[in-house]
Each structure stands twice: as structure tokens, then as C-alpha cells.
Amino acid sequence: MTTNKKLLAWVQSLAQLCQPDKVYWCDGSDEEYRHLLNEMVASGAAIKLNEEKQPGSYYFQSDPSDVARVENRTFICTNTKEEAGFSNNWMDPSEMKEILRAKFKGCMKGRTMYIVPFSMGPLGSNIAKIGVEITDSAYVVVNMKIMTRMGQPVLDVLGNSNFIPCVHSVGSPLAEGQKDVAWPCAPIDDKYISHFPETQEIWSFGSGYGGNALLGKKCLALRIASYIAKQEGWLAEHMLIMGITNPEGEKKYFAAAFPSACGKTNLAMLIPTIPGWKVETVGDDIAWMKFGADGRLYAINPEAGFFGVVPMTSMKTNSNAMLLVKANTIFTNVGLTPDRDIWWEGIGTECPAGTVNWKNKVHDPASGEPVAHPNARFTAPANQCPVIDKDWENPAGVPISAFLFGGRRPSTVPFVYQARNWNHGVFMGSVVGSEVTAATLGVNDGVRRDPFAMLPFCGYNMGDYFAHWVNLGKNAPYKTKLPKIFNVNWFRKDEKGKWLWPGYGDNIRVLEWIFNACDNTVETINTPIGFMPNKKDINLKGIESVAANLDELLSVNTEKWLEECELIEEHYANFGIHLPNELAEEFVALKNRLK
Ligand code: GTP
Ligand code: SPV
Ligand code: MN
């Protein structure tokens, strides 16, 4: 319960607007969680998985049209289009409010309105932010229970203070006596994932999936938070946070920005294939960072759970993720076996006959259709991760030694290189590109630029965001304590399309080099694109056959890089006067070094 007047008045006005049958305040208890899931099992929206194989776990299939974030239906509503920048869909705030008022009017008829108070970041931490999500989806409530700190304890901490209002509806009201479907949602053109950075509000209509609906994640912790962070001088980034300990017992923390479905969760939980090294997980998707009193940059994971890509996860590629999801996990859009267990492509076992695919049809191997949707996800509590870092909930955060940028680049980009200095590192982040993945709908194939992996998540003009990064370096209390910046690429392929690098646990071999480069204990080669390793310093013990690929993995092909520069030119042209001079200068310097 709460006596927060603003909150009470807001809930009342939304109940009037949305006209739900019931209003329910979530307390965040385990009983409530079970109860909601039992209700969804009873209604046919969920299936309880085999208790022996997947204790406490549930299975959902989404509507086939509602399987990922929808970038063309995601809006940043700033006062001017210029403030949103070329990379965001812009709409005038009052125009959008008018559309939303019409959409939300009566949109919860026949449904329950759930009030979900949540904290991004440890409860009561001064870095944390409190939001309240209003939703008509019980699926969203149980996911928010895993992904955030949620319920009455949040209201207790909130007291009479301000919160970030987040309104969500699946956009599918029920007429009198109308039977619900398993996954209600609105048609694609009727979805509105809208953000009002200046007034710090989120309104999401028509989707029940992932970042469209779990509003603490991409909407609050990235789009709204990036806007706040710019004003207040900190960073809200699409980055994993990992602890890495060398055989001598020295520990560092790295934060890495890769676009969606490019390996953050896997890197955060990596199982080293070389002896003596240890990796521990702080977060797998989002990092909020501020300078500490000692001048170092400290990061917290604002989330409390992992919403991870399922396909290709196996005991071989990532046993930590497999152990993480062994119990108390929600699976969305994977396959369901006849004995109510789960199955997906790359799980490492044969698909049992009679397995039902994510579209609820018995799988026909001859059809060529996948069993799991490529963006099928698990939702699992972070504290179930076998390698969760002891400081993952430390409100002060963990000190970051290195930033890693990367994406899926089959050619051109070597598998590791280091920035020459801070601004060069910001330049590297600003030109990150990747092959398009299944994490988003409606984007054409090919390499797309996804600066800092933030293209779909920056709540304001991306050129100003680059300037914020440049300024952060300029104004850092101690320049020498800034994280070093690297670019990595696990996704190089040969002409036949085969991976040149084994990836996953073997990525520790690259992290080892980065760890040593942070301490300047390894010699580097000065190349036109940045500092690179000597071949001998990449530890290939146990994977000697890869040695033949190392030249290719570490090659800087001038011709290809000049082509890359043409693409960067096109990319940079989008920013107009918002492109910081420092980055334009870095680009000129790169071209000169390549000549
Ligand atoms: P989001 O949750 O969408 O932000 O994705 P993510 O960046 O956390 O990516 P994730 O770790 O879930 O990996 C996405 C896909 O890439 C999965 O199918 C992984 O199996 C695959 N993948 C991850 N790491 C590697 C790697 O080192 N090499 C190769 N070849 N594939 C990888
Ligand atoms: C991503 O796409 O980067 C995700 C999944 O982490 S979602 O929460 O749907 O945005
Ligand atoms: Mn992500």
C-alpha cells in the first residue's frame, strides 16, 4: 500500500481512461507470482513445464506477429525532431499524447489493471531509479517480478517521492463475454512504444513482448535513462558487465556493448577454456555508470534477471546459462516436447518426435521451419546464475577497467584491436556495425551501423550522445583512470562461410590479451586502425588448429578498410552538425593512416 498522492491520483486517472474490470496492486510476493502463473495455466495462456525436468518453470507462445522489439513502431517524443535525431522515429509530444489517449481509452475492458512498482538497481541505492508500470498483462507482471526488484518493498522505499510513470497495454480489450486468446496484442501498425524523455514518461501500446512491454528494461533503463544521464553527467549503456580474474588472482571488470543478439549474455557468463582464469557475471544487458570518489568509473546492473536469447544455448556453448535456466524460468517461443520439457535448435540433443514448435504445430523436420523462434527468450533470476559476481548487487557498483565494442562482422574487422586514446575509442564505438539479427523486426538484411549498440535505445540525438562520451573523457577527474577501449569481433568467416574463430569459452583468449593490455604488460603493434596483438601473445594452447586462421583474424586489409571508410562517411553524414568535431578529426586521422 502507498500514500503517495501523485501515484494514487495517476492510477485513478488511468483506471478511468483504460476502464479495466479490476485494479490490482502487486505486492511482489512469491505467492502472488505463483498465483498469477496458475491463473495463466488455467486460462491456457501458459503451460507448466515438467516439474522433474524444469521445476517451477513455465512455457509461453507469443502471437506470431509479436516476437521481438518493433523499432519502426518505437517513438521518441521530444519537443523538436532535431532533439530526437535521425536514428529515432520522432513524433510531437502533444500529437502523440492525443493518439495515445484515443488508443488507451477503454483498452483494458474485460481485463485486470496491474500496478507494478519496480526499482531499476538495488532497492534504496542512490543510483537506482523507481518506476511504476501499469499493465493489463499478467505475463508482463511475472516477467517484471524476475527482471526487476518489484512490489511493496519498492513502494516503501518510494514513500512520497517521484517515480517514472510507465503505462502498458496489450491493446486488445475484451467485449462482454468474449473469450481471450493465449497471447493478446494489437496488429503491428497499431503498436506504439512511445517515450517522452523531457517529462520522463513511457506509454506502450499493442505488444506483450520483451523490450516493448517490460518497460523497466529498454524503455526506462536505456531510452529515458540515457537522456537523464546526459543531463547529469553519467552513462546508461547497452552493456554487459563481467568480472575477470587471472591465474595470479588479480581481478578486473569489463563492460561490453554489442548489438542485440551479438553475444552479451554469452560473454557475461563465459566459461574459460584456459586454466586459471575465472569469469563472473554482474549483468548481461545494461550498465549504469558514474565516477566514484577515487576517479574510477563504477557500474551497476539495474536489472535483477536475465532475458536471454535461447537458440544455440547448450551445455557445450554456455553451461552457465543452461544451469541458470534449470528452474524457476519462463520460456517464450521455444519448442515443447511431448513430456512437457523444452527444446530448441542447438540445445545439443535430438528433437524428440512429437515436439510442438513455437507456432503450436507439431514439428515437421522436412518443413525446414525452426522449432524455436530465433528470438525465443528465457527469463531467469540473476541470482540463479552459477557464476554471479559477489558484488552484483553492490549499490556502489564495480570499477570498470575496459570497454569492449563489437558486432557481427564476417570480414574487414579483426578480432581484437585497441583504441589509441579516449576519443579514438569513442570513434570506434560510434562506427560499430553488425549483420542484422532476429532481435528486431522490420529491418533489412546486411551490415547496419549500430553505434555503441545504442541505435535503437538512445533517447535523444545520437550525435549529442557521441558528444556526451567525448565530454566524459574530457571532464574525467583522472584521465589515466578512464577505462581503456577495445573492439572485438568473434564473428569472422572464411570464403566458405565457416567461422574463423571458435568463440564462446575460447573468447577468454582475447580477454586475456585485453586484461594484459590494460596493465601494459604486453607489447602491441601500432596499426592504422589501432593497437593490435602480436600473434605470439594470443594463447592458442588446446586449440592449435586455429593458429592457421590467426593471420586472417588479425589482418588489416587496407583496401577493405578504405571501403569501410566509405561506409563510415555515409553513416557520419546522417549526424549533420551534431557530429562532434573530435570524431570528424578521428575519422580524418584514420583515413590518413590508411593512405
Ligand atoms: P540480446 O539479449 O538480444 O541483447 O543478445 P546478446 O547480445 O545478449 O546475445 P547472446 O549472448 O544471447 O547471443 C546471441 C546469439 O549469438 C546466440 O545464438 C549465441 O549462441 C550466439 N553467440 C554468442 N557468442 C558467440 C560467439 O562467441 N561466437 C559465435 N559464433 N556465436 C556466438
Ligand atoms: C535486445 O533486443 O537487446 C534485448 C531483448 O535485450 S529486448 O528486451 O526485447 O529488447
Ligand atoms: Mn539486449
Domain containing 342 — which CATH number? 2.170.8.10
Give the ligand whose atoms come closest to the C-alpha of residue 266. Answer: 1
Query: Does residue 77 share a domain with residue 172?
Result: yes
The answer, yes or no, to whether any atom of ligand 2 lies below 6 A from the CB of 67, is: no
- CA distance linking residue 210 with residue 112, whole number of Å: 20
Instruction: Report the C-alpha gap between 270 and 385 in whole angstroms.
Output: 12
Domain-ending residue, one of 337, 369, 384: 384
254 dihedral zone (left: phi>0; alpha: psi -120 to 50; beta) = beta
Ligand 3 centre to CA of 529 (Å) is 27
Question: If you take atom 26 of ligand 1, which residue's CA is the nearest one?
Answer: 503
By alpha-carbon position, which residue is closest to atom 3 of ligand 2? Answer: 260
Amino acid identity for residue 374 in this structure = P
Ligand 3 midpoint to CA 263 (Å)? 9
Q: How many angstroms is it from 71 CA to the middle of ligand 3?
A: 14
CATH number at residue 588: 3.90.228.20
User: Does a structural domain hold residue 59?
Assistant: no
Verify that 533 and 438 share a domain, yes or no. Answer: yes
**CA dist 49 to 38, 60, 344, 424, Å?**
12, 10, 15, 50
Residue 467 falls inside a structural domain: yes
What's residue 552's pLDDT? 96
Q: Is residue 48 part of a domain?
A: no
285 CA distance to ligand 1 centroid (A)?
Answer: 12
What is the domain extent for residue 441? 237-303+390-594
Nearest atom (ligand 1) to Cα of 284: 8
Residue nearest to atom 29 of ligand 1 (CA): 503
From the CA of 346, the nearest ligand is 1
Ligand minimally distant from the alpha carbon of residue 456:
2
Task: Verify that 421 and 274 share a domain, yes or no.
Answer: yes
Pocket lined around ligand 1, Cβ cut-off 6 Å: 258, 260-266, 284-285, 308-309, 311-312, 317, 439, 490, 499, 503-504, 507
**Is the same domain home to 119 and 268?**
no
In this structure, the answer to whether residues 222 and 274 fall within a common structural domain is no
For residues 451 and 557, membership in a common domain is answered with yes
The closest-lying atom of ligand 2 relative to the alpha carbon of residue 218 is 10
Which ligand number lies closest to the CA of residue 505? Answer: 1
User: Ligand 2, atom 8: nearest CA belongs to which residue?
Assistant: 211
pLDDT of residue 127: 84
Examine the residue annotation and report whether 262 is marked as an active-site residue of this protein: yes
Last residue of a domain, one of 384, 399, 431: 384
- Is the CB of residue 211 below 6 angstroms from any atom belonging to ligand 2? yes
Domain membership flag for residue 472: yes
- Give me ligand 1 centre to Cα 291, in Å: 30
- 150 and 281, same structural domain? no
pLDDT at 198: 97
Task: Report the separation in Å between the CA atom of 344 and the middle of ligand 3, taken as the mean of its atom positions.
Answer: 20
Residues 496 and 408 in one domain: yes
Both 455 and 552 in one domain: the answer is: yes
When divided into structural domains, the chain yields a total of 3
Task: CATH number of the domain at 117, please.
Answer: 3.40.449.10
> In this predicted structure, what is the pLDDT of residue 256?
98
Atom of ligand 2 nearest to the CA of 440: 2
CA of 238 to the centre of ligand 1 (A): 14
Q: Mark which of 200, 233, 266 sits at the end of a domain.
A: 233
Cβ atoms of 228 and 236 within 8 Å: the answer is: yes
Atom of ligand 2 nearest to the CA of 209: 9
Cα distances (angstroms) measured from residue 164 to each of 158, 161, 216, 291, 375: 11, 10, 10, 24, 28
d(CA 285, CA 268): 9
What angle in degrees, to the nearest 10, is found between the helix axes of 93-104 and 5-18?
60
Q: What is the pLDDT of residue 475?
A: 94
Catalytic residue among 18, 185, 262, 458: 262
Collapsed DSSP state (helix, strand, coil) of residue 287:
strand
332 and 296, same domain (yes or no)? no
Tell me which ligand sits closest to the C-alpha of residue 308.
Answer: 1
Would 138 be classed as within a structural domain?
Answer: yes
Surrounding residues of ion ligand 3, Cβ less than 5 A: 260, 285
* Nearest C-alpha neighbor of 116 from the set 129, 102, 130, 126: 130
Question: Does residue 189 sit in the same domain as residue 229?
Answer: yes
Comparing C-alpha atoms, which of 166, 156, 170, 259 is closest to residue 216? 166
* Alpha helices, H only, 247-336: 264-268, 315-324
- Per-residue pLDDT 10s for the chain (595 aa) are 999 999 999 999 999 999 999 999 999 999 999 999 999 999 999 999 999 999 999 999 999 999 999 999 999 999 999 999 999 999 999 999 999 999 999 999 999 999 999 999 999 888 899 999 999 999 999 999 999 999 999 999 999 999 999 999 999 999 999 999 999 999 999 999 999 999 999 999 999 999 999 999 999 999 999 999 999 999 999 999 999 999 999 999 999 999 999 999 999 999 999 999 999 999 999 999 999 999 999 999 999 999 999 999 999 999 999 999 999 999 999 999 999 999 999 999 999 999 999 999 999 999 999 999 999 999 999 999 999 999 999 999 999 999 999 999 999 999 999 999 999 999 999 999 998 766 666 555 578 999 999 999 999 999 999 999 999 999 999 999 999 999 999 999 998 989 999 999 999 999 999 999 999 999 999 999 999 999 999 999 999 999 999 999 999 999 999 999 999 999 999 999 999 999 999 999 999 999 9
CA of 439 to the centre of ligand 3 (A): 8
- In this structure, the residue with its CA closest to atom 7 of ligand 2 is 211
Is 9 within a domain?
yes
The answer to whether residue 423 is domain-embedded is: yes
pLDDT computed for residue 316 by the predictor:
92
Q: Residues 331, 410: one domain?
A: no
CA angle 523, 528, 530 (to 5 degrees): 45
Is residue 333 a part of any domain in this protein?
Answer: yes
- Residues 187-217, buried b or exposed e (16+ Cβ, 10 A)? eeeebbbbbbbeebbbbbbbbbbbbbbbbbb
* Ligand 2 pocket check for 210: Cβ under 6 Å: yes
Per-residue pLDDT at 125: 85
Q: Answer whether 0.75 is exceeded by the pTM.
A: yes
Nearest-CA residue for ligand 2 atom 1 is 260
Closest Cα to atom 4, ligand 2: which residue?
260
Testing ligand 2's pocket by substitution, the residue of 67, 140, 218, 373 carrying the most ligand atoms inside 8 A of its CB is 218
